[in-house]
């Protein structure tokens, strides 16, 4: 018998403020995770598929070890026979593909150009939320998303000389990530953030095992430690965005995902001494303004 779905339903705890806070946290964690993933590919010689596989395998090993433990373990049934299993596994497969595409895009492009393309996902999410979830998207929300997109372009200002394959991979990564979020939103009655993490780990490990084995690259101690750190950071990001989508409409939280670029600017300043430009600060203001504007419900009826 399949396990019962989570007790929280559409009336998710915390509401929109919690969803926004979780989305901001996810943006920070994703920026950190992808920056470290780029290092695994460019500095340690791993492939993007191998980076994704190592992350999934590490999480799966922890889940398998903890499964039989009372209270702290997820349990075998939850891992192997989740509610609406095929839907959860489809969502997991889409995220695994998205992660691999994003890592490849970051490896082929400068971080700013990869970010520019990757952060089209919130705009796609708003559109898909209206088309597939039948979410009502008021004009203010569309305008807020547009302002966030414009702010993103001011921050990253991608040029036209980027690697064509990198552009394609980053763009496809953004599309598949937006699709994943739509699927998670549809599963909010049946799957918790933990269920999402477990299925991504299981599906990713099984899906990538053969192609990664055929092109295995040696993993040194430093790369292994960094891969574990990436797994922890990106798992926390995944849990945050899954929890956010349980609490707020996809189109409502979409503009706040542009905040990842603000986190990137802050990290550049703190870690590399790169002061933000006037255009970058203007872009940050547009992102914040767009996110706030998206919260207006618009006229009823």
Question: Is 154 part of a structural domain of the chain?
Answer: no
Question: Is 285 part of a structural domain of the chain?
Answer: no
Question: Is 269 part of a structural domain of the chain?
Answer: no
Whether 3 has a pLDDT exceeding 60, the answer reads no
Could you give the C-alpha distances from 111 to 35, 93, 270, in angstroms and in order? 8, 25, 16
Whether 175 has a pLDDT exceeding 80, the answer reads yes
Whether 238 has a pLDDT exceeding 70, the answer reads yes
The confidence score (pLDDT) of residue 210 equals 96
Backbone angles phi, psi at 121, to 5 degrees: -55, -45
pLDDT band at 1 (very low <50, low <70, confident <90, very high): very low
Question: Is 10 part of a structural domain of the chain?
Answer: no
How does pLDDT run across 192-229, given as a tens digit for each residue? 878 888 899 999 999 999 999 999 999 999 999 999 99
User: Tokens 């979830």 — which residue?
Assistant: 133
Q: What average pLDDT is seen over the chain?
A: 80
* Helix residue ranges, H only, the chain: 15-42, 48-66, 76-80, 85-108, 111-118, 121-132, 139-156, 164-186, 193-214, 221-247, 250-253, 259-272, 278-293
Question: How many CB atoms within 10 Å of residue 216?
Answer: 12
How does pLDDT run across 28-63, given as a tens digit for each residue? 888 888 878 888 998 899 999 999 999 999 989 988
pLDDT band at 295 (very low <50, low <70, confident <90, very high): low
The confidence score (pLDDT) of residue 4 equals 43
Q: What six digits make up the tokens of 254?
A: 């979409």
Question: Is 287 part of a structural domain of the chain?
Answer: no
Whether 7 has a pLDDT exceeding 70, the answer reads no
The confidence score (pLDDT) of residue 108 equals 82
* Spacing of C-alpha 101 from chain mean position: 12
The count of structural domains within the chain is 1
> Residue 81 belongs to what domain range?
15-138+159-250
Whether 2 has a pLDDT exceeding 80, the answer reads no
- Sign, CA dihedral 172-178-179-183, equals positive
- Sign, CA dihedral 289-292-246-63, equals positive
Question: Is 298 part of a structural domain of the chain?
Answer: no
Contact 259, 144 (CB under 8 A): no
Contact 204, 52 (CB under 8 A): yes
How does pLDDT run across 61-114, given as a tens digit for each residue? 988 887 776 666 666 777 888 888 889 999 999 999 998 998 888 888 776 667
Backbone angles phi, psi at 37, to 5 degrees: -65, -40
CB burial readout 270-285, b (16+ within 10 A) else e: eeeeeebeeebeebbe
Question: Is 115 part of a structural domain of the chain?
Answer: yes
Question: Is 48 part of a structural domain of the chain?
Answer: yes
């Amino acid at each position: 018998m399949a396990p019962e779905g989570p007790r929280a339903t559409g009336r998710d705890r915390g509401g929109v403020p919690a969803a926004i806070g979780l989305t901001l946290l996810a943006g920070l964690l994703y920026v950190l995770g992808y920056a470290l993933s780029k290092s695994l590919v460019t500095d340690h010689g791993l492939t993007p598929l191998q980076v994704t596989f190592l992350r999934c395998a590490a999480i799966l090993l922890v889940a398998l070890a903890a499964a039989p433990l009372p209270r702290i373990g997820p349990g075998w049934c939850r891992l192997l026979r989740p509610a609406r299993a095929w839907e959860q596994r489809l969502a997991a497969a889409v995220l695994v593909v998205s992660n691999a595409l994003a890592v490849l895009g970051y490896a082929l492009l400068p971080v700013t150009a990869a970010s520019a393309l990757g952060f089209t996902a919130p705009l796609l999410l708003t559109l898909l939320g209206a088309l597939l979830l039948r979410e009502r998207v008021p004009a203010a929300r569309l305008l807020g998303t547009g302002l966030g997109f414009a702010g993103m372009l001011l921050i990253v200002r991608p040029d036209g000389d980027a690697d064509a394959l990198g552009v394609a991979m980053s763009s496809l990564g953004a599309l598949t990530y937006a699709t994943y979020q739509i699927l998670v939103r549809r599963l909010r009655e049946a799957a918790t953030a933990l269920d999402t993490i477990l299925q991504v780990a299981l599906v990713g490990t099984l899906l990538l095992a053969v192609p990664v084995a055929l092109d295995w690259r040696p993993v040194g101690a430093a790369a292994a430690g960094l891969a574990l750190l990436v797994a922890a950071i990106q798992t926390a990001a995944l849990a945050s965005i899954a929890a956010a989508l349980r609490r707020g409409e996809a189109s409502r939280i979409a503009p706040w995902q542009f905040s990842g670029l603000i986190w990137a600017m802050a990290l550049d300043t703190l870690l590399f001494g790169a002061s933000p430009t006037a255009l970058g600060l203007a872009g940050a203001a547009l992102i914040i303004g767009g996110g706030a504007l998206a919260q207006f419900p618009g006229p009823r009826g």
